[in-house]
Amino acid sequence: MATDARKETAAASAKSNGNGQQKHYKVIGTRPIRHDGADKVTGRAIYGNDVQMAGLLYGKVLRSPHAQAIIKHIDTSAAEKLPGVHAVVTAADLPDLKDKWADLGEGRVNLAHLGANVLAHGKVYYKGHAVAAVAAVNAHVAEEAVKLIQVEYEPLPSVTWVLDAMKPDAPILHPEVYTEDLVGQRISEKPSNASKYLLFEAGDIEKGFASADVVIEREFKTASVHQGYIEPQVSTALWNQDGHLTIWTVTQGSFTARQQTAELLQIPVSQVTVVPCEIGGGFGGKIPVYLEPVAALLSRKCGRPVKMSMTRAEVFEGTGPTPGSFVRVKLGAKKDGRIVAGHAWLAYDAGAFPGGMIGPGCMCVFSCYDIPNYRVEGYDVVLNKPKTAAYRAPGATQAAFAAEQVVDELAEQLKIDPIELRLKNAVKEGAKRVGWPDYPKIGLIETLEATRNHPHYKAPLTGNNRGRGVAAGFWFNIGLKSSASASVNPDGTVTLIEGSTDIGGTRTSVAMQLAETLGIAAEDVHPHVADTDSVGYTDVTGGSRVTFATGLAAYHCGLDIRQQMAERAATLWECKPEDVTFEDGVFKAKDKSISFKELAGKLGELGAPVIGRASVDPQGPTNGFGTNIVDVEVDPDTGKVTILRYTAIQDAGKAIHPAYVEGQMQGGSVQGIGWALNEEYFFDDQNRMRNASFLDYRMPTALDLPMIDTLIVEVPNPAHPYGVRGVGETPIVCPPAAIANAIYRATGVRMRELPMSPPKVWAAMRK
């Protein structure tokens, strides 16, 4: 069977760009209807808030009205006396987590910080920070009870802009936090809000810039934006009388939710079962736990199941936005367009606790270009906003907004077409990059060529105040651990159990890979996302990894099933298993042959049931590159930017379900459009967020947009048998930069601050 895997990998590796020769697949590349489709269009799918059970209580959280304050005293007695209230908890109910650390799959995490974010411990760090929680007979009583909790605060000065937080006289959030370098050495003498300083260098940038014919240096700012999933966080916990804790929740990773909860409560992971419900969007924001441990503590106190859900305002004020940022980029190029030196200086806010997105920001800022001399410096900075969470290619969009505009200016000054300039400098196999080993086979050049040749890029654009912009973008796409098992049913179908929570159709994209491997129809695989007791360890649905890594697990599950089925066929035909071959869903030996389905029907007479299993830990990144072409029109009287035409182009490696790949490209583009043109956290003079609703934090609606055209480029990933690269995150990277470049072409004004909202564009046009 190993031979098969190698053969398939080799076949999938054959170069193709969407038009060229491809391996002929039966299932991969088709567009079957998703397995959970009927449930989701009829309202039957059970999301987190749809969980009901006997004796269910409802929990609510009391949140800080201050951006920063000492908690001097909490009096919960009045709340406890309210009829209908069953339990009240504060940080005092959490175990002491001082000096405790845990590896949560993405590096070591300070558990005291994680715990203090879930329930404030002595100090609140942002408006909306959770302070206490109540469980009551219904949500209304819980809300009333929360208001009866008396908290005595001592308000402190606060800070919400990253450069302000780095000033020597800035209010220090955490006296125990000093600036550390990449390897954890303390490099500041005093406590600092800058928790991390990263430095990546290659070559000699002084010499590089000295040899350049053109040098451009610019500064950029971006505001905090939210992931904006439509389903607020919701969790139901039952701490049973036998000590076992079950949590029904909406999470991107059942196993990380289990581990975070267990670590915070200081109980073994085996004492916790996480049941993942259908999840209403995440985009990175549903990886950290917020309500799970709190609902658990409430349930332990009252012995009943407790459901907690956030309001929309709580989602904005209490869950991770993406970092606000300041980025300075300097690029030097020769007359022929070759970039010879680059210097980037990035400061990203991490929100209230250390550990934001500065690492990937640094590693992505120049990731599209082969620059011989570079220096990239980055700061992770704490300040008085909610703790940041991942948001689709976390850290990359801010970096691209800066770098891709400087590249655009270089192209303009050198009078080179912006795509040609990018092609001249594009990374390819063997190129060095910041913070990772050299690139393997990648598809940036093919993607740029597809952009240059796209009808949109060639189409004339006429009319006043109109302009076209382009940008390129990159996201790593990770591997990590996935497990799957599958059992063969007597009717020839296969039931697939996986651990990746399905946010956008991955049940189907994973099932299709198993179907392809077994030579059966996509509809003949029945995928199920299981709880943490029913499937092997599986990392988060994030990093664009599920179709790649869980798909790989499904593929290996398929190989395992094929091996066992070949043995059963050998029993049937009284021959040696190694004489049985498998092709296109049919087992053969000499003159005998039997289809997968027929053989499945005979398994009852041929020995033990056939169950395939696989667990994988593929090493990423798989490297996703994309470009955007956008035409805009700017209203000179209002500064409003209208998107006239939008095209997203991306290397998917291999599109398993092309409609879902398009969907990721379209959805990511539109999130990027919102980030570019409208979305931001507004803070008042007390650093309190003032637009915590969908009315005031205005995300794009259907009426704001045209159709989003897509072109899928396919340069297969050699590290996956079907060539999959992962596609979810790259689409959000380009839009702000591409739109800024288009606004410049339309108006002659360079927008270096996000969002490029009407008042800002209007003001910039009047300068």
Tell me which residues touch other proteins (CB under 8 A).
31, 33-34, 36-38, 40-47, 49-50, 52, 140, 227-232, 278-283, 309, 311-312, 503-505, 657, 659-660, 662-663, 666-671, 693-695, 699-703, 705, 707-708
Instruction: Give the nearer residue to other proteins in terms of CB position, either 44 or 576.
Output: 44
Distance from C-alpha of 703 to C-alpha of 332, rounded to nearest angstrom: 41
Instruction: Give the nearer residue to other proteins in terms of CB position, either 31 or 441.
Output: 31
Distance from C-alpha of 324 to C-alpha of 271, rounded to nearest angstrom: 38
Instruction: Give the nearer residue to other proteins in terms of CB position, either 233 or 325.
Output: 233
Q: How many CA atoms lie within 13 A of 35 on its CB side?
A: 21
Residues for the chain: how many in total? 767
Instruction: Give the nearer residue to other proteins in terms of CB position, either 432 or 526.
Output: 526
Whole-number minimum distance, CB 49 to other proteins, in Å? Answer: 6
Instruction: Give the nearer residue to other proteins in terms of CB position, either 254 or 666.
Output: 666
- Residue 529 · residue 472 · CB < 8 Å: no
Burial of 154-177, coded b for 16+ CB within 10 Å and e otherwise, reads eebebbbbbbebbeeebbbbbeeb
If DSSP codes are grouped into helix, strand and coil, which group holds residue 352? coil
Q: What are the E-state strand segments in 144-271?
A: 150-155, 194-202, 214-222, 234-239, 245-249
Whole-number minimum distance, CB 97 to other proteins, in Å? Answer: 33
DSSP, residue by residue, 256-325? HHHHHHHHHHT--GGGEEEEEPB----TTTTSS-SSHHHHHHHHHHHSS-EEEE--HHHHHHHS-BPPPE
CA angle 207, 208, 212 (to 5 degrees): 115
Other C-beta atoms within 10 Å of 11: how many?
15
Instruction: Give the nearer residue to other proteins in terms of CB position, either 227 or 623.
Output: 227
Whole-number minimum distance, CB 667 to other proteins, in Å? Answer: 5
Whole-number minimum distance, CB 282 to other proteins, in Å? Answer: 8
Contacts of 240 by beta carbon, 8 Å cutoff, 6+ apart: 246
First to last CA, the chain: 68
If DSSP codes are grouped into helix, strand and coil, which group holds residue 378? strand
Instruction: Give the nearer residue to other proteins in terms of CB position, either 312 or 441.
Output: 312
Whole-number minimum distance, CB 707 to other proteins, in Å? Answer: 5
Instruction: Give the nearer residue to other proteins in terms of CB position, either 699 or 764.
Output: 699
Whole-number minimum distance, CB 650 to other proteins, in Å? Answer: 14
Other C-beta atoms within 10 Å of 325: how many?
29
Whole-number minimum distance, CB 151 to other proteins, in Å? Answer: 25
Instruction: Give the nearer residue to other proteins in terms of CB position, either 624 or 700.
Output: 700
Q: Give the position of tokens 């990359």.
A: 396
Instruction: Give the nearer residue to other proteins in terms of CB position, either 443 or 504.
Output: 504
Whole-number minimum distance, CB 87 to other proteins, in Å? Answer: 20
Q: Which two structure tokens, joined as six digits, stand for 365?
A: 């800022």
Whole-number minimum distance, CB 554 to other proteins, in Å? Answer: 20
CA 262 vs. chain centroid, Å, equals 23
Whole-number minimum distance, CB 236 to other proteins, in Å? Answer: 13
